Amino acid sequence: MTNYKFHDELSLAETAENLGKEAIKLGLIPSFVVRFFPDSRQFYIPDETKSEPLTPEEAYLQLKKLVEEAAK
């Protein structure tokens, strides 16, 4: 059985933040920004061509992919 690191939007956002920090330590991204709102968070991962706000779900998936590919 798989143990998930998140079970709601808040824990998903926290997991995405942790993945962002790990990606920075691994040198995969130069930085990332999290904008906090009363009911949600927006993630910005700098890119050469665009820097669109990401939902916690989008940030989690993108950062997870980066970290997993670096581990290979």
In this prediction the pTM is 0.79
d(CA 64, CA 24): 12
Tens digit of pLDDT for each residue in 62-71?
999 999 999 8
DSSP labels, 5-51: S-SSHHHHHHHHHHHHHHHHHTTS-S--EEEE-SS-EEEE---SS--
Return the pLDDT at 22: 94
